[in-house]
Amino acid sequence: MKAKAIIAIMLTLSLTSLGFAQSNEAKAKFNAGLTANQAGKYAEAEKELLEAVKLDATYKQAWVELGTAQLHLKKLPQSEESFKKVVTLDASDVVGHKNLGLVQLEAKKYQLAEASLLKALQIKHGDGEVQKALGQLYYQQNNWDKAIEYYKLYNTANSVDAKSHFFMAKAYKEKGDLATAESEYQQAVKIDPKLADAHINLGNLYMAQEKFGAAASSFKAALAADRNMVKAHYALAGAYQGSQNFDAALASYKEFVRLAEGKAAMKTMVTNAKQLITQIEAHLEQAGE
C-alpha cells in the first residue's frame, strides 16, 4: 500500500509539473501571438495562438486574440468558432459576445449576430460599439426604425462619428423623412468634410427638392473631398442643367464622359451623358441664332 501510495504521489507531482510546463509554454505562445497581432502580422499571430490554445484549451484570452487574428485574415468561420469558445469559457465576457456578434454580422448571419450583440448589451448597458453594430445590422436588413433607434443611442454619446450620422440619414430617407435625412447628412459632412458619399447623397436630396444651387454646392464639395468620384461630375452637370446654366452643364457632362469612358459600370451613364451633350449643344446653337 505504501509503495502504491508513493507511486501515486509521484505520478501526481509529475502531472502537476507537466501542467505548469504547458501553462508556461502556452503563455509564451500567447505573448508571441499578441505581439504579432499588435504588429498586424495576423498569419503569424494565428499560428502562435493556435499553439497556445492547443497547449491550454481553457486559455480564454488566447481564444480572443486568435479570433481577432482570424477576423483580420477574413477567416470568418474559424473566427466565429474562436469567439464561441470564449463565451463558452466565460458566459459573462462582453468582449467575447461583442466580437462574436461582429463576426456573425460580417458573415451576414443576422439572427445569430443580433442574439450575440443583444447579449453583449445586456451584460454592458450603453456599450457604444454594440449599439453602433446593432444599428448597422438592422440597417442591412432594411429595418429602418430599429436602425435609427440604435444609431440614436450610439450618437447620444458619440455625436462626432460622421458615418453613423450618414447611415442614419439614409435610414430616414428610406422612411421618406427627407427633412431629417437632410439634417443628418449636414451633420455628417460638418463632422467630416471629406465624406464624399454624404455630400453626394445630400446633393441628391436637394435635387429632389429642385434646390439646384444647393445641390451644385454639395456635388462640388464631393469632388473637393474625392477627386476620383467620377459620378459627381454627372450629378453636378444635372444640377447646372436644372438651374439652366447650360454652358457649365455641358462642360461637366463632357468631363464626366472623358473620365468615365470605357468603365463598364458607367456605360449607361456615359450613353445618357452623350445624349444630353447633343441636346444641350443643339439648344445652345439655337439660342445663339
Instruction: Using alpha carbons, select from 121, 33, 125 the residue that is nearest to residue 82.
Output: 33
pLDDT digits (tens, 9 = 90+) for 97-110: 999 999 999 999 99
Per-residue confidence at 82, pLDDT binned at 50, 70, 90? very high
Determine the pLDDT at residue 47.
Answer: 97
Written as nine digits, the cell of 169 is 440619414
pLDDT digits (tens, 9 = 90+) for 129-145: 999 999 999 999 999 99
Cβ(119)–Cβ(97) below 8 Å = yes
pLDDT at 16 over 70: no
Helices (DSSP H) in the chain: which residue ranges?
2-38, 42-55, 60-72, 76-89, 94-106, 110-123, 128-140, 144-157, 162-175, 178-191, 196-208, 212-225, 231-242, 246-260, 267-288
Predicted model pTM: 0.81
pLDDT digits (tens, 9 = 90+) for 142-182: 999 999 999 999 998 887 899 999 999 999 999 999 999 99
CA dist 119 and 133 (Å) reads 13
What is the overall mean pLDDT for the chain? 91
Query: Crossing angle of helices 196-208/162-175, nearest 10°?
Result: 30
pLDDT at 22 over 70: no
Determine the pLDDT at residue 57.
Answer: 95
